[in-house]
Amino acid sequence: MTTNAPANALDYNARSRAFKIFSAIVLAIFAIIWIIPLVFALDTSLKPEGEIAAHPTSWWSSHFSFHAYTEVVKGTPIMTWYLNSLIIAVLTVIITLVVCSMIGFALAQTRFSGRITVFGFVLAGLLIPGSILVLPLYQIVHEMHLLNTYWAMALPAVSAPVAVFIFESFFSGLPRELIEAARIDGASWFGIYWRVCLPLCRPAMAAVAIFTFVGSWNNFLWPLLCMSNVDQMTIPVGMATVAGGFGILYAQVMATAVLGALPLFVVFLLFQRHIVQGIAGTGIK
Amino acid sequence: MTDNSVQRRTQPHPSPTRRTIVGAGLGAAAAELLSGCGSPVATGLFGLAPPSDKLTYWNLFSGGDGANMAKMEKVYERSHPSIDLSATTLSWGTPYYTKLALATAGGAPPDVGIVHLSRLDTFVEAGLLTPFPADELTAFGMPATNFTPRAAQKATVDGQLHAIPLDTHPFVMYYNIPVCRKAGLLDADDNLKPIHGPAELTAALLAAKKVTGHYGGVVAVIGDPATNLRYFSTLYYQAGGTYIADAGQKITIDNDKAAQVLTFMRNLTKSGLMPATINDAGVLSLFSTGKAGFLFDGEWDIPTYRATPLNGKFNVVPIPHIFGPKPVAYADSHSFVIPRNSAMDKNRRAMVLTFIKTMLENSLIWAGGGHVPAWTPVRDSAAFKALKPQANYVAAAETAMYDPPAWYSGAGSDFENIIGAAVANSQSGVSSASSAVGQMWSGLRPYADAKAPVG
Amino acid sequence: MATTVIDDGLPVAVPDSGSPLRTQRSGENRAGWLLSAPFIVFYLIFLIGPALYGILMSFFNTTSVKSGLGAAVGLANYREVLTSSAFWGSMGHTLWFTVLTTPPLVILAFVFAILAERIRRGRALVRFIFFAPFVMPVTSVTMIFGWLFTAQIGLFPKWLSDIGISPPNFLGTTGWSFITVALLTVWWTVGFNFVLFLAGLQEIPTEVYEAAAIDGSTPRKTMWSITMPLLRPTIVLVTMLQILASLQIFNQMYLMTGGGPGTSTRPVMEFIYDYGFSDYRAGYAAAATMVYFVIVLVVSLVWFVLRRQTRKTVGA
């Protein structure tokens, strides 16, 4: 994706070289602006509280330490929130992958009666701004007695038409002959889906898995409502809700912010290419 | 899930590091998952009740109150080592009450929580709390007669106690001792000479202003609707005024009395005896540096001023009796409640009641934050009577007036914001007294007209 | 993988192949439905369900802390919402936030992508830096910016003082609160649009640029006559996605300003949250939800129509 030729193509023109340098400088300036908040947050989190009070905007400290981090880990249930976020995200990803790839396959490769209706029906779902409907959704999940369980988070997230269409378009790209050959070999439709097609659609699975994971991990309003018990909270909600006694202890606040962001940074570093492609893939939304 | 990831790690794979990390994460999660029934994970997955030796307690105390509450929790933990006390501090005000209500309605409330008595009626009407029968309280050594009568009365809804009061925290008057001494406002023991009526208060502020060279007194106006409400309510309640009736369905503001009180208050800011546009930070700065002789504020700010150079040079008394036939103080109370919870059995309830009793018995620690204990064995103890300035305003707890009951009223509520904003407009001179009263009416009107969600 | 494109033309049904295949057809039929069923169930319960239940609730005095619908109130909730200055005020705040954030988030992302496309090395690093904030939880973002914007001791007020500008009260006044939250939002989410634009740029065939370069086209001319027209579908996409996202603002506002000072920055989602959950007035807030829902749905439909038209004209 990054090593394609267009940049070179522009070299055909001499004036473009000056423009290239200009581009690099402007980008560098903005890149620096963009990382300052992160670096300063990290910097503050490593300073002793006393030094922050005395020199709040100073970048240097003679006593950098992880003290604030140990205080946060000791003083708040942040480890429990990590675990909750992780389990919820993993549950959501697994169910979403299974459920959405099944219907994606059905829409792409089987010709069942009513398929067009179902297709249009799911397509209409792309238009529904679901996040606005938290209030009625809360009432429904309440009546289902799922509040304060992981299922309150995981199950509603599965109704993601975007994921369906990512799978649908991927399965559509598979050659029809492949399926017909499997049919002749006597494979069942489920067998074709599970053993023939699903293993071929790793990129689609990766894209859906990653944006489902990120979406689940960073969801805020819904878990704010449905995970009201402190022990059931996710990372973003727990951090925002529990004062934890650190009123104006900036190092601890920044340490919390850094800890909250850390896991997804790691995920992002590991899966950068997949994430970026996955986001580009959601262009259909 | 774990089996899979472990298995895969042993196979050659293009990106082993990635898988190892994810696999390790899942493995750790799974280990935790298996480790405990009754763990948060078990609750999250299967909706199981928390373990029987764990006591969850929610409060909204930060700062000085938070520190005192932590001390009291320590006392409890030391005397009940077998119980795992899990105390959580949530953000103050509406967010806390929203959380508590949603958690209770959602079937996962804390075992015990703190509620302002001004918020109690709504919680009871919504069916979120369990009552404390009189015989149960007696059995646990907490008969209703052992509480400040006014607080116990406020905690009683539909004839039953629904909350166990911890304190009464009135809106009070602070004075700067050196300033007032110089102004001739103190008696031989450095106690403030009694002030009665609008003229005497104005005169006292004028005398203080002459000493400070800046202001006679100070109260927050900008960015703090609650303080505006408390200040106005104290005087308005003294004058015999009311806001709403019928659980908030009817507005009963007495226009003349409200305008009279607002005009008196505005005259103090208009004449320069008190600043007309000042926020909390400005108030702190003026009073702590002796640029104002008097301060109207909640007693919970005593620890704040003790941390300034003013420490030891100020005293606190009830707000003087300015209007009406009898003195009245505006106040609220923190109280313990037991939210409705299907997982609450007899043993757990006994554990909670013991916890509350321990808290009450140690409420002298709590009084350190400025509050008047509601538990009379502590309030009437020699130790509390020696606690100054807290012991000065015990009377205020007896004459306490709370926010009127309504679904939109109580600590940090829309009611407080509406009234407080109107008062602030009058105080800063943005609105006349009569138009500020009009704002109160128009602000409350949609709430009074709306169909109440509870009750 | 390139941008996935959904065919808006509905799929064509395969003509019935006749009797010899009937059993196979019925098997296919059953398989199709069975594989679709789980999703349809989720979809009905958690997406269509809330929409319908929201409509139902809006005619009742439903209480969020109690089970059931409560007493029927007819159109009273709608009457109250539509005449509520607090509701329309919050709608105005949401629109103002959308106006403040959409142009910078589209234009900056576009400029970053165009510039990133020009540089030879470090493109992955640039992409990482701009996109990294997007994977952060909103609470981390607001905690960090809350600290950066803190009056007197924050980094931003100090920088402004250093260059001789007296720093505004970033979170204390209505006007600045909007700007502060908008700045934070740009920092946080520009990477998402940036990546969409990068993907769009990749779709433009190299030969088009080569041909233009051989014809002696200047970079500016190439930009206006080739890049912009070919990128039009992406520009429409990003703009509409951004408008839809900004219209649903809640998180940053709730965490940074709580809708304050007073309720002067409260967006619609927070209005619904305040009335529906803090005040327990679920029925009333459901009416507000449905009004808001219809407005956003209309914007979605406009996008849908626009997209179809763009596709047609570009022939993609």
Cβ separation B414–C261 shorter than 8 A: no
Please report, for the domain that includes residue B58, its CATH number.
3.40.190.10
The conformation of residue B186, written as its DSSP 8-state character, comes to: B
Report, as an integer, the average pLDDT of A201-229. Answer: 89
The domain tally of chain A equals 2
Cβ separation C281–B223 shorter than 8 A: no
CB pairs under 8 A between A and C: 355
Q: Who wins on pLDDT, A163 or B3?
A: A163
- Report the percent of chain A where pLDDT is more than 70: 89
Task: Specify whether B140 is located in the same domain as B214.
Answer: no
Report, as an integer, the average pLDDT of B70-89. Answer: 93
Assigned domain for A1 exists: no
pLDDT digits (tens, 9 = 90+) for C177-198: 999 999 999 999 999 999 999 8
Q: What is the pLDDT of residue A15?
A: 62
pLDDT digits (tens, 9 = 90+) for B148-193: 999 999 999 999 999 999 999 999 999 999 999 999 999 999 999 9
Task: Specify whether B394 is located in the same domain as B324.
Answer: no
Report, as an integer, the average pLDDT of C1-17. Answer: 42
Distance of CA C219 to the CA centre of its chain: 32
Task: Specify whether B92 is located in the same domain as B60.
Answer: yes
Q: Please, are residues B219 and B248 in contact by the beta-carbon 8 Å criterion?
A: no
| Average pLDDT along chain C | 86
The conformation of residue C223, written as its DSSP 8-state character, comes to: I
Distance CA B96, CA B411 (A): 11
Q: Which domain holds residue A171?
A: 76-242
Q: In chain C, which residues touch B (CB < 8 A)?
A: 61, 63-66, 71, 73, 76, 80, 84, 86, 172, 261-262, 274, 277-284
The conformation of residue B422, written as its DSSP 8-state character, comes to: H
DSSP B122-185: HHHHTT-B--B-HHHHHHTT--GGGB-HHHHHHTEETTEE--EE-EEEEEEEEEEHHHHHHTT-
- Half-sphere exposure for B35 (CA within 13 Å, toward CB): 11
Task: Specify whether B346 is located in the same domain as B428.
Answer: no
Task: Specify whether B321 is located in the same domain as B229.
Answer: yes
Distance CA C238, CA C198 (A): 11
Assigned domain for A263 exists: no
In chain C, the residue whose alpha carbon lies closest to the alpha carbon of A4 is C202
Q: Which domain holds residue B389?
A: 54-168+333-398
The pair of structure tokens assigned to A75 is: 């003083």
pLDDT digits (tens, 9 = 90+) for B279-312: 888 899 999 999 999 999 999 999 989 988 999 9
pLDDT digits (tens, 9 = 90+) for A174-194: 888 888 888 888 888 888 999
Task: Specify whether A231 is located in the same domain as A117.
Answer: yes
Task: Specify whether A166 is located in the same domain as A202.
Answer: yes
Distance of CA B171 to the CA centre of its chain: 11
Assigned domain for B29 exists: no
Task: Specify whether A236 is located in the same domain as A100.
Answer: yes
Q: Please, are residues B419 and B253 in contact by the beta-carbon 8 Å criterion?
A: no
pLDDT at C120 exceeding the cut of 50: yes
In this prediction the pTM is 0.88
Q: What is the pLDDT of residue C16?
A: 46
Whether cis (ω within 30° of 0) applies to the bond prior to C168 is no
Q: Please, are residues A186 and A195 in contact by the beta-carbon 8 Å criterion?
A: no
Task: Specify whether B236 is located in the same domain as B164.
Answer: no
Task: Specify whether A19 is located in the same domain as A118.
Answer: no
Query: Among the three residues A52, A71, A90, which one is the final residue of a domain in this structure?
Result: A71
- The shortest CB-CB distance from C66 to any of B94, B127, B421 is to B127
Task: Specify whether A62 is located in the same domain as A178.
Answer: no
The pair of structure tokens assigned to B368 is: 């350190």
Pairing of strands B329-332, B400-401: parallel
Cβ separation A86–B66 shorter than 8 A: no
Cβ separation C6–A143 shorter than 8 A: no
Rg of chain C over Cα atoms, rounded to whole angstroms, equals: 25
DSSP A69-112: HHHHHHHS-HHHHHHHHHHHHHHHHHHHHHHHHHHHHHHHH---
Task: Specify whether A63 is located in the same domain as A104.
Answer: no
Q: What is the pLDDT of residue B431?
A: 93
Query: Among the three residues A40, A71, A102, which one is the final residue of a domain in this structure?
Result: A71
Interface test with B, best of A78, A82, A228, A272 (most B CBs within 10 A): A228
pLDDT digits (tens, 9 = 90+) for C157-173: 889 988 988 888 888 88
- What number is the ipTM of this complex? 0.87
Residue closest to C159 by CA, chosen among A29, A255, A40: A40
The pair of structure tokens assigned to C205 is: 């065939």
Does residue C289 belong to the interface with chain A, where contact is any CB pair within 8 Å?
Answer: yes
Assigned domain for A249 exists: no
Cβ separation C277–A37 shorter than 8 A: no
Pairing of strands B314-318, B167-176: antiparallel
Assigned domain for B15 exists: no
Report, as an integer, the average pLDDT of A115-141. Answer: 90
Task: Measure Cα distances from A101 to A159, A200, B168, B203, B294 in Å.
Answer: 12, 12, 60, 80, 71
Cβ separation C280–B453 shorter than 8 A: yes
Distance CA A127, CA A285 (A): 8
> Quick one: pLDDT band at residue B4, thresholds 50, 70, 90?
very low
pLDDT at C10 exceeding the cut of 70: no
Q: Please, are residues B205 and B216 in contact by the beta-carbon 8 Å criterion?
A: yes
Task: Specify whether B433 is located in the same domain as B284.
Answer: yes
Name the least confident of A119-123, B214-218, B254-258: A119-123
pLDDT at B336 exceeding the cut of 50: yes
| Average pLDDT along chain B | 89
Pairing of strands B160-161, B292-298: unpaired
CB contacts, 8 Å: B417 with chain C: 262
pLDDT at B346 exceeding the cut of 80: yes
Q: Please, are residues A230 and C116 in contact by the beta-carbon 8 Å criterion?
A: no
CA dihedral over C154, C159, C162, C163, signed as positive or negative: negative
pLDDT at A284 exceeding the cut of 80: no
Residues in chain A: 285
Residue closest to A233 by CA, chosen among A247, A244, A220: A220
The SS3 of residue A159 is coil
- Report the percent of chain B where pLDDT is more than 90: 76
Distance CA C293, CA C244 (A): 11
Closest-CA distance, C52 to chain B, in angstroms, reads 21
The domain tally of chain B equals 2
CB contacts, 8 Å: A113 with chain C: 29
